[in-house]
Amino acid sequence: MNKPESPRFARRLGLMSSVVLLAGSTWAGLSTPITASASVCPTLTLAQTTFTHTGGQQCFQVPADATSIDVTLVGGKGGDADSPGGTNGTGAFGASVTATVAITNTTISAFSAGLFLPQSAINVVNTTGFPTSGTINVQTSNGMQTVTYGGTTSTSFTGASGGTGQMFGPSPGPASLVTKPQTFYVEVGGNGTAGSTGGLGGIGGDNGGGTGGTGAGGTQLTAGGGGGATDLRTVSLGSFTCPQDGSSVASRVLVAGGGGGGGGGAPAGGSP
C-alpha cells in the first residue's frame, strides 16, 4: 500500500478487536467522510469512518456496546522547499500511528422501573458529569436504547424522547443502566505549504506545523512548512475541565506527528 499524502483518521468499532485498518487514498472509496462541529457529535456505526483535514475540530460518540476502537492516525505532510536554480528539498510524510483505544463510559442506575420508553423524563441516581443536553444510552428489555434529552435536574433527564422497551427494576432485581456515550475529539493535521520564490518559507499545517525558514542573506532558498500533528483527545478545544493542566492538549490519547518541511538547496524534510 502506498503511503498516503493527505492526513486521515480511520476508526472501526470492535469488542476488543485487534483488526487494524490503515488509512489513506486506497481506502477513499470504502470510507464515509464525517464532518461535525464540536457541539454536535454523531454516533458512529460499525463501518470504517475517515476524518480528513477541515481546518477545525471534529468529533464523534461511541455506541453503547463498543468496548474499544481501532484507530489509525496520519500526520500532515511537510511542504517542499523552493530553490530556484537548485534542487528542491522534498517535504516528509507525517507519522502513521495505529492503536486500540479502550472506551470509558460513565454509567449510573435509573429509577423508572416498569416504564416503557419513550418517556419524557428518565429518573436516575444523579446526573453529575452529564451534559445539560445530549444523548444517553438506556438499558431496556430491547437492549441498549439511545435517548435524546433537552435538560437535566440533579436526578433526572428531562425533555427526553426516543427508545423502546421496558426499563428494569426495582431492587432486589437489576436496575436499568443509563450510560453517557464517550465522546472523542479529532484534530487532523494540515499539510505544510511549499516555500515561495519570494523568499518566504512555507506555512506550517494546522495543529502545530512550523513555518519554513528563509535563506541566509536574503537568498531565495526557502524551506517548506512542517506538517501538523493529528491527534485523538477526550476534551474539546477551549475546555478547561481537563485535570492535568487545564487544557484540551492534556487529554490527548494518541498523536501522530507531522512531517518536516523540505530544506532549501536539497535537504529533504525529516520524518517524525
The overall average pLDDT reported for the chain is 74
- Say how far apart CA 212 and CA 90 lie, in whole Å: 12
Q: Cβ(271)–Cβ(260) under 8 Å?
A: yes
Q: Is the pTM of this model over 0.75?
A: no
Predicted pLDDT of residue 175: 65
Would the pLDDT of 75 be above 70? Answer: yes
Neighbours of 272 (CB within 10 A): 20
Q: Place 139 in a pLDDT band, splitting at 50, 70 and 90.
A: confident
Picking from 122, 177, 115, 116, the residue whose alpha carbon sits closest to that of residue 144 is: 177
Q: Which of left, alpha, beta for 59 (phi over 0: left; psi -120 to 50: alpha)?
A: beta
Long-range contacts of 131-134 (CB under 8 A, 24+ apart): 131/180, 133/159
Per residue in 177-233, pLDDT tens? 888 878 888 888 899 998 887 678 889 998 999 888 876 655 667 888 999 999 999
State the virtual CA torsion across 109, 112, 113, 115 in degrees, nearest 10. -140
Does the bond joining 118 to the residue before it have cis omega, within 30 degrees of 0? Answer: yes
